[in-house]
Chain A
């Protein structure tokens, strides 16, 4: 049973992530009054890309990418999906926070090695954006951990079963709002789509990828989407006891993200940071203070 979970949960995550990618294109197309590609198009693309030859820029180019995807896969073992969380007893939220570094860092090393300034600009923006949303995000996470007095994500989920969704329990309301405000940035959708910006810096970090590399990069993107949404659902919307409900909750969050993506134009990176460090951070800070005051 346990072994199956170990293999099953990363695969499920990949599947859902890729599905979301396809769905995103479809929904966006419909919003824009187009027909759009089939939902399974990303999966087809990945399989096609794997069969194409491509250029490799060096060892770090390969290793960085592998590292990035592997790191993201490991996170899925820690995140409860419904009740499936095979590695939740090896470390809690802190480990997840740090594992979340591996993905961007691996990508950064890999695309840095590709020696294209577009990639470097993209990475620079990616890291700055992360810096921008980590400030409120960390405040939110700390408020949660303080409020539930645990660092284990499974415990946070199970405690929400008694108290209701964190987002709607008293001291965590502010944190919930702040999290909602930064969610688009964490998912990398517009108005925060500064990293890949195809029209501006030729897809940024992805500029030199082709063939199997692009396939891996797409998978990494899909996983990042999955992790971002899953984390939000687990922390704020009470997770779920069974995988189906959990998936439905994820779908709701995903649609919220897509709508935002469809409506807003892209911000510049400095505007993005300014936004993230202003209201979301202030609200998250107030939330943390609130938790500290009411908790003690």
Chain B
């Protein structure tokens, strides 16, 4: 059996090899991330059958938990790891031609570090280790946001840095509290001991950790960095930030709330928070005239929806939430990637400058349309099954409050539809400036087509993912089996 440690080790190692490879051959540099992520993807796929049977627990350095650091490769972690490598692979293919100017070597290095950090967060079983990987993820994304080196990029990078650092600080304090209470940092161990402690003493560490991670996962009102950062980063990085980074943050929140603390009284609060995030995100996106900002706010909205679904904590809703998460990674990635080249062509991020793009860049516009339809939840694209599962799971709970929240979800979908349809009309039916037709480069088109195929395939045959997601959701919800498999 292959060792899941390679999922982290290979990209990490290759990331530091990038400068060396670059000095050997300039042309080869660009392909390093592609190779690394392809390797990761294949590894993830090969791990699936084994993980579905039993989660794999790796003890680093041979120390058994709770003393050593362990990796926990359950269905949920593997889902995220696979998603990270798949999205990362597609985006790295896209970047082959998209990233041409500027510090290319640093870009590829940071890009791989970012993904390494993300993979680490979702696989680790140790709180402090989680913090460390989280910092890797965050710091590389601070740098990548400022990649263009222009004023807006640097400004939003600094803003992101400040808020991110505050968040990390809070997270660290929270972890410190936990260590003080339990004397251990192993998540399974804490989870087992959590019942022995008075609930009220756990409140402060929990809220600190949630707030700290909430900054990265863009939960309202901790998400103010996101629109700036997403809109001024290069589009490939926006795709990763939106499709991977904030979702990894959400994973961490969910893992800590569900598995480590596992106190169900607070779930409804998160459902409300999710709806609030959803509504605010969608309404802000509705008011935007800048395409990338609009997509960024839409990400906030989607995160809210996923948080809502996870917070309802039934197998159905969590499966739906994860489905929506997968859909969001693909479609938001697709949206950012296609918007990237459209912005490149028109030279402006204003929606009005995209008028008539359907004639100038038909395939790119088609990709945008597919992404938008999927995100809104129109069949036969991947967004619909996700929305269907979330709503049906929520209604199955049969509580009046939740029914009303579902109504709000549907309402926000209408708002979301409105602003996306507006852009689609601009793309196809408004007259542009009559430039010649010129497609995006082949690599970018390949990336977009791959995502489109994934979206349509998932939309037409959602069952393909459903079983896997179902076991991932029980991985998240079933605290006891998590504890049991780590502390054998």
A and B directly contacting (CB within 8 A): no
A→B interface (CB under 8 Å): none
B→A interface (CB under 8 Å): none
